[in-house]
Structure formats: structure tokens, C-alpha cells
Amino acid sequence: MTGVRDALAPVSGALLRRARLDADAMIAAAEHDAAQTLAVARRAAQDMIDEAREAGTSEARARADAVRVRAGRRARDIELAARREVVLELRRRAVAAVLALRDDPCYPRLVERLRELARESGGDDLIVREHPDGGVVGVGRGRRVDCSLGALAGRAVDALGAEAERLWAR
């Protein structure tokens, strides 16, 4: 498996750099949108809170608390939806970038290397075929090794894992 990682390191590195750049741009846009939505929600909640205070009743205070909780939940829902969209867009862009490798003159060498990696991972008796979308898939008795370009791009995005969360923590 180390051989697979080593062989794919340049591709993974390039994908990771591109993914980070794309993620930074998408995150900035999502954070801006989330901040605006949160500001609107907070203003609306504050307006309701002010009304409740003016009424001066305990019922109004209870209502304001409920509104604040709902506004906070709504803001959190919006942020989480924006994060999901960013990850989906990042995955889509990573797959598109990797699929573009099919047009690269070095693509036949990449396919051959992926064949070797599939056999190294799954065994010499693995039947390895080119995937229609690029890369290869190897199938053997009770095993499957997916080295298709889409799967490799997906794994690269998944590998961001905690690093993707750190991007949001800025």
C-alpha cells in the first residue's frame, strides 16, 4: 500500500493543493454568506427580544428566549448546509480535475502504473480493466481494487478529513 501512496503522491499533492485553493475560495464565500445570514437572523432575534422587553412580561421573556434559540439553530443549520455544499463542490472539482488527466500525454503511463498498483494491492491474479471514466479497476476472487480516477479523487478529498475542519476554524 506504501507503493500506491508513493506513486500517487505527486497526483495527491497536486490535488490537495488545488483542493485547498478551491476550498479556501469556497469557504470564504460560504463564511461571508453565513455571516450575512447570521447577522440578519441576529437582528431579527434582537428585534423580537426588544419587543418582549418592552412588553415587560415573563411571557415575553420566554418568547424571546425561544426566538433566540430558534435563530441560533437556524444559523447553525445554514452554516452546516454551507459546509456540506463546500465539500460537495470540492469533491466535484477534484473529480473534474483528475478526469482531465485523461487528456494528458502521460495518461497511458499513469494507467499502466495504476494497473501495477492494483495488482500489488490485490494480487497478480487480479483481472485489471480500464474504467470508462479513467483509471483502472481490478477484480479478483472476493476482492476489488478501485483505482479509477473518480475514486482516487474522492479518496484525496476524504483524506483532507480533519484538515478540512481546520479550514473552517479560521
Burial of 22 (0-12, 13-18, 19+ CB in 10 A): middle
pLDDT score of 124? 85
- The pLDDT-based confidence of 106 (bands split at 50, 70, 90) is very high
- Which tens digit of pLDDT belongs to each residue from 131-147? 999 999 999 999 999 99
Provide the 10 A C-beta neighbour count for residue 147: 26
SS3 content of the chain, % helix, strand, coil (to 5): 80, 10, 10
Q: The pTM is what?
A: 0.54
Give residue 77's domain range: 2-168
Calpha distance 14→100 (Å, rounded): 13
**pLDDT per position as a tens digit, 29-45:** 656 766 777 677 788 77
28: pLDDT confidence band, cut at 50, 70 and 90? Answer: low
Number of domains the chain is built from: 1
- Give per-residue pLDDT as tens, 72-104: 999 999 988 887 887 788 889 989 999 999 999
The dihedral through the CA atoms of 153, 158, 159, 160 has a sign that is positive
